[in-house]
């Protein structure tokens, strides 16, 4: 493990810096969710079209995650992250002053470059600590990061009510400037030297994609987090249209999954080394599925209300917080020398599924009922359990063969 010194460019970044890197990406993802109805009115488009900006953002995030890993393996984590923050800040200002919906969509898609932080923060952790400690570190990083999406929608809702939706983008632009200054001073390079050309990194992808372990961890993460992404795409409509919430109230309710997520990250940070990656992945999948099963039963009984719908996202967030750090560490442990590529590919697979589910959620809700959304979230959670079981089966097979 390499020693870190805060605000020292010659050492690896402090864990607080990693938290803030991911935090701005998380904030950009969901801070404007309560403002989607008012933004639809501002640009003169339907809600479903405005909600599409969430899906497109996630889709671009997936594309960025694919290429950002090998780029950072080749050129280093520091220059790639600094460039990403600059591009993000400029794109945020363009979105802020967008004269029409089309310009806003383009700026929003460029904004997604900040999502490189999700993959590269995990790669930095894997650069600095061994595999058996990586899940614990990732758990603590994402635990701190989870505070941002917990308060982000609430803050966004209050800013929208007081100053209009543009105020949330002013906040993001300011955050970009502050983060750049912090990274410039604290982010020391951690990538191993001599990783070759970019094309060499791309050519190494088949060795990852042929690994059943890699796919098992990726699919467990993708399906388990799929419930959250579907929630992200459908909850603004459910809250504002079906339950009559204003932006501030909806933003407060949006904190529900993040409460569970933070608790799950804490649990992961404390116990992942003791319990092991695969047990943590299965435990997280089961916890999230239990919450969704309860939501399905309430919906079938006709007892679904705002408190039940948003409240039962807490165990979903808890399960994600337990599962994702270990699943991410598992992806990176398949080929440690390709940590950036593994983080990027794994993140792309996870987020691409999330983009599809977010778009599906917006389309399903046109019928005026939350029931289709509930069943989609439950189905993806069950598939997460199946993927976790596959990881365990493959691990046992490797042990017997070894």
Cα maximum dimension of the chain: 63
Q: Which residues contact 259 (CB under 8 A, 6 or more apart)?
A: 150, 314, 317
Mean pLDDT, rounded, for 58-86 = 82
**End-to-end C-alpha distance for the chain, whole angstroms:** 28
- The matching CATH number, chosen from 3.30.70.1400, 1.20.950.20, 1.20.120.450, 1.20.1250.20, for 15-401 is 1.20.1250.20
Closest CA relative to residue 350, chosen from 327, 332, 333: 327
297-306 pLDDT tens trace: 999 998 888 8
Q: Is the pLDDT of residue 1 over 60?
A: no
Residue 111's pLDDT is what?
92
**Token representation of residue 228:** 């959250």
> CB–CB of 72/65 below 8 Å?
no
213-238 pLDDT tens trace: 888 898 998 888 888 878 877 888 88
Mean pLDDT, rounded, for 245-249 = 81
Residue 5: how many CA atoms within 13 Å on its side-chain side? 4
39-56 pLDDT tens trace: 888 899 887 788 788 878
**The whole model's pTM is what?**
0.68
Residue with tokens 């092991």: 276
Helix (H, G, I), strand (E, B) or coil at 210: coil
Inter-axis angle of helices 277-300 and 212-237, nearest 10: 30
Q: What percent of the chain has pLDDT over 90?
A: 21
Residue 180's pLDDT is what?
93
**Cα–Cα–Cα angle for 135, 137, 140, rounded to 5 degrees:** 110
Between 204 and 109, residue with greater pLDDT: 109
Distance CA 280, CA 221 (A): 12
Mean pLDDT, rounded, for 192-212 = 70
Q: What secondary structure letter does DSSP report for 7?
A: T
Residue 297's pLDDT is what?
95
- Domain positions in the chain are 15-401
137-174 pLDDT tens trace: 776 676 656 667 667 777 888 888 888 889 999 999 99
E strand or H helix at 304, and its extent? none
Q: Is the pLDDT of residue 365 over 80?
A: no
- Sign of the torsion formed by the C-alpha atoms of 131, 132, 137 and 140: positive
Secondary structure (DSSP) of 36-51: HHHHHHHHT--HHHHH
- Predicted confidence band at 286 (pLDDT cuts at 50, 70, 90)? very high
Q: What percent of the chain has pLDDT over 70?
A: 85
Distance CA 63, CA 109 (A): 11
Distance CA 235, CA 111 (A): 22
Distance CA 152, CA 251 (A): 8
Residue 131's pLDDT is what?
60
């Amino acid at each position: 493990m390499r020693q870190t010194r805060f605000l020292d460019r010659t050492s690896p970044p402090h864990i607080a810096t990693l938290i803030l890197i991911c935090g701005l990406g998380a904030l950009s993802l969901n801070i404007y969710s309560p403002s989607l109805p008012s933004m639809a009115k501002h640009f003169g488009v339907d809600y479903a079209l405005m909600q599409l900006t969430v899906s497109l953002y996630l889709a671009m995030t997936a594309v960025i995650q694919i290429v950002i890993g090998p780029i950072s393996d080749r050129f280093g984590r520091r220059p790639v992250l600094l460039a990403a923050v600059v591009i993000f800040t400029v794109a945020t200002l363009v979105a802020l002053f967008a004269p029409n919906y089309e310009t806003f969509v383009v700026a929003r898609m460029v904004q997604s470059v900040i999502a490189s932080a999700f993959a590269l923060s995990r790669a930095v952790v894997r650069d600095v600590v061994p595999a058996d400690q990586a899940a614990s570190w990732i758990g603590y990083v994402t635990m701190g990061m989870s505070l941002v999406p917990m308060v982000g929608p609430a803050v966004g809702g209050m800013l929208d009510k007081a100053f209009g939706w543009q105020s949330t983008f002013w906040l993001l632009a300011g955050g970009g400037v502050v983060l750049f200054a912090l990274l410039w001073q604290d982010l020391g390079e951690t990538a191993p030297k001599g990783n070759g050309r970019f094309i060499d990194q791309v050519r190494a992808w088949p060795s990852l994609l042929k690994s059943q372990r890699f796919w098992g961890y990726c699919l467990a993460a993708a399906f388990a987090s799929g419930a959250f992404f579907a929630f992200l795409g459908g909850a603004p409509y459910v809250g504002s249209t079906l339950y009559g919430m204003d932006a501030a109230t909806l933003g407060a309710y949006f904190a529900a999954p993040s409460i569970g997520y933070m608790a799950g990250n804490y649990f992961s940070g404390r116990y992942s080394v003791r319990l092991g990656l695969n047990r943590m992945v299965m435990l997280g999948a089961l916890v999230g599925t239990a919450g969704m099963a309860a939501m399905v039963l309430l919906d079938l009984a006709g007892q679904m209300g705002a408190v039940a719908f948003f409240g039962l996202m807490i165990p979903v967030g808890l399960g994600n917080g337990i599962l994702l750090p270990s699943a991410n560490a598992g992806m990176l442990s398949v080929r440690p020398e390709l940590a950036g590529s593994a983080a990027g590919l794994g993140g792309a697979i996870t987020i691409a599924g999330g983009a599809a589910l977010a778009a599906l959620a917006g389309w399903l809700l046109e019928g005026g009922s939350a029931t289709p959304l509930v069943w989609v979230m439950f189905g993806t959670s069950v598939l997460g359990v199946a993927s976790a079981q596959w990881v365990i089966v493959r691990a046992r097979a490797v042990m017997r063969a070894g």
